[in-house]
Structure 1
């Protein structure tokens, strides 16, 4: 009987240790959303799991944590934004939430369909080429996001990883919806 109690006590101790390690790892590889720039996809206070080991595998529409230039401090500020432009792409953005993309090496033009974006009047930007080793990042909250429309391209080395899972709050935890896509633009309708 003593052996059984000793073994179950060791098992409980190991389980507690493993649980503690998992909590520490989850906290070490997580980021908390600060602000409304990614609403409705991410909300202020959400704790997101950050995959730091995938920073070299970033794909279009991933949500990433990166360092971006700060107009206030002159230094860098950590942001969470969606990757819209990949290296070699050509991008054109208008204030009415119309984003056009010509993927690297392609002649076709696509419009980014993001259900989170709402229209606001504004001027269209000229076509810009995303440099090698950089990304064009936009927030899902079109009217309340400081993103590449303000600070330009973000160097790939400034990306810390991608967020793929909401850890907290528990009632909304789970994988991030992937409902953003490229849709072909009819010939002649691309500005």
Structure 2
């Protein structure tokens, strides 16, 4: 796969339906896609070839709908996992959307109820929760689609969040700790 300066670098993905769905969700979260043809082109630019019929089924399975964007343009969007019917609007490809814009009510609630500590080293952030609660917080982090977060893994009482760089990890730690601060919830 050759590098395309218009699209950010992505790791090679397996040619599975789940990987294709994840890539479609990623594209729709970052780009204004007005048609299935544009989506097929975006997938092809990332090395994924698909038929129109398969892409149409994928969009139905992902519950993608067209929503009206600024200026009246209709673009595809996918509902957030934790909030039926809500969709994450395109925030630009530069990753300049603030953490607050991506913070769901669910993430704020779980941080307030469960987050014990947040420490980072390099691009990795380690979050601690009470025993048995890390999966709840991990799910809320994933559903929020926070800018700069590559993924997270939750254990029993520890959650590892991997970010694009140390700056993102530091900002995210501060943001999540602020959500957990009971004095901030007046």
TM-score (norm 1): 0.24
Which protein is richer in strand relative to its size?
Answer: 1
Identify the structure with bigger relative contact order (alpha carbons < 8 Å, sequence gap 6+): 1
Higher helix share: 2
- TM-score scaled to structure 2, two decimals? 0.24
